[in-house]
């Protein structure tokens, strides 16, 4: 009976002095959550409303920003409740559901960035063929695959993890990420191997493709006129900045949390907050400032 109660109540131990500063944390996190929703939603609405933004590149940007909103909704509501609670706990099924959404959306981010890299490659390297290649059907297929492929693969990983016997009931973190594997009584080699395959499919191979694509773009730009180089810099630089930023944050989640090292609670909390705060705000800021057409519509809206 006690084991059944524990299984439905996993304690989150990544919080620092919640009792003392809980209301301050709540107000700050709530304001940041509203800011994330507003920033991302504003640019999404601009892309939907203005017909000159109904191009593949901007549609992919809108998809990335929708990801940022969903990514925030996966974590923030539970986080806000925890700051007002005496004890930070989460049920076993909800923990795995949060784990599934977190990594599905993370994987779709890399696949969307791969689709954007392909779009930029066709636009710069094959401009005459661009309308025939990047049709609405092609864009729809890319979007569908970007969301479905990670979701299907993470569904398998989540199911395998959820069916494992749990012996530990304290999670080192403020939400359910890959540290849930440390709750299992016995480490599963099959689950570890499946996790590596998923990591290769939704992170490593898309990254390789992006690097290959942008290398080709750089070679073409080097041989082309100044106008082509300027156009490439305007459209490719924001994507590269987002890719580098997201890759660095993911490396922390994938590598550091897997290591059996005693990272101080404060450091762990700060790094985890970087993952959930920095990236959802970074996307709309970069695309709002660096993409010329979006920036123009933002200035009209606010000025």
Mean pLDDT of 269-298: 79
pLDDT at 6: 44
What percent of the chain shows pLDDT beyond 90? Answer: 22
The yes-or-no verdict on residue 255 having pLDDT over 70 is no
List C-alpha distances in Å: 234 to 65, 131, 139, 292, 293: 19, 20, 21, 8, 11
Kindly tell me the burial class for residue 262, based on how many C-beta atoms sit within 10 Å of its own C-beta (0-12, 13-18, 19 or more): exposed
Per the model's pLDDT, the better-predicted residue between 212 and 303 turns out to be 212
pLDDT at 40: 92
pLDDT confidence tier of residue 1, bands split at 50, 70 and 90: very low
Per the model's pLDDT, the better-predicted residue between 178 and 17 turns out to be 178
Q: What is the 3-state secondary structure (H, E, C) of 18-32?
A: HHHHHHHHHHHHHHH
Nearest-angstrom CA–CA distance, 163 and 152: 17
The yes-or-no verdict on residue 3 having pLDDT over 60 is no
List C-alpha distances in Å: 136 to 46, 60, 62, 108: 19, 12, 15, 19
pLDDT at 192: 83
Model pTM score: 0.87
Measured in degrees and rounded to the nearest 5, phi and psi for residue 172 equal -80, 90
What percent of the chain shows pLDDT beyond 70? Answer: 88
pLDDT in tens, 106-157: 899 999 999 999 998 898 888 888 889 999 999 999 999 999 999 999 998 8
pLDDT at 259: 57
Q: For the chain, give every domain's residue range.
A: 2-302
The domain 2-302 belongs to what CATH superfamily?
Rhodopsin 7-helix transmembrane proteins (1.20.1070.10)
- List of E strands, the chain: 10-12, 89-90, 170-171
Nearest-angstrom CA–CA distance, 108 and 115: 10
pLDDT confidence tier of residue 2, bands split at 50, 70 and 90: very low
pLDDT at 137: 92
pLDDT in tens, 156-198: 889 988 888 888 778 777 788 887 888 888 877 888 888 889 8
pLDDT in tens, 256-267: 655 555 566 666
pLDDT at 264: 65
Residue listed under structure tokens 């977190």: 102
pLDDT at 63: 93
In what side-by-side order are the strands of the sheet with 89-90? 89-90, 10-12, 170-171
| Range scoring the smallest mean pLDDT among 49-58, 151-160, 237-246 | 237-246
Enumerate the β-bridge partners of residue 166. 184
């Amino acid at each position: 009976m006690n084991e059944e109660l524990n299984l439905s109540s996993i304690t989150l131990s990544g919080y620092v002095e919640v009792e003392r500063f809980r209301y301050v944390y709540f107000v700050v996190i709530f304001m940041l959550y509203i800011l994330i929703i507003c920033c991302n939603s504003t640019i999404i609405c601009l892309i939907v409303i203005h017909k000159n933004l109904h191009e593949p590149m901007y549609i992919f940007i809108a998809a990335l920003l929708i990801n940022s909103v969903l990514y925030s909704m996966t974590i923030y509501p539970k986080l806000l409740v925890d700051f007002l609670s005496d004890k930070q706990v989460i049920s076993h099924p909800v923990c795995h559901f949060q784990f599934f959404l977190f990594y599905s959306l993370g994987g779709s981010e890399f696949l969307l960035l791969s689709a954007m890299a392909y779009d930029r490659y066709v636009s710069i390297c094959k401009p005459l063929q661009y309308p025939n290649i990047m049709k609405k059907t092609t864009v729809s297929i890319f979007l569908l695959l970007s969301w479905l492929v990670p979701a299907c693969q993470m569904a398998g990983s989540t199911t395998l993890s959820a069916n494992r016997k749990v012996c530990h009931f304290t999670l080192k973190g403020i939400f359910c990420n890959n540290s849930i594997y440390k709750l299992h009584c016995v480490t599963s080699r099959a689950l570890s191997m499946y996790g590596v395959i998923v990591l290769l499919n939704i992170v490593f191979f898309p990254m390789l493709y992006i690097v290959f694509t942008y290398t080709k773009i750089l070679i073409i730009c080097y041989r082309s006129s100044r106008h082509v180089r300027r156009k490439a810099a305007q459209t490719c630089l924001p994507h590269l900045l987002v890719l580098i930023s997201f890759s660095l944050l993911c490396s922390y989640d994938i590598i550091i949390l897997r290591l059996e090292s005693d990272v101080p609670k404060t450091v762990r909390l700060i790094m985890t907050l970087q993952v959930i705060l920095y990236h959802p705000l970074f996307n709309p800021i970069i695309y709002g400032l660096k993409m010329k057409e979006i920036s123009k519509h933002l200035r009209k809206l606010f000025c």
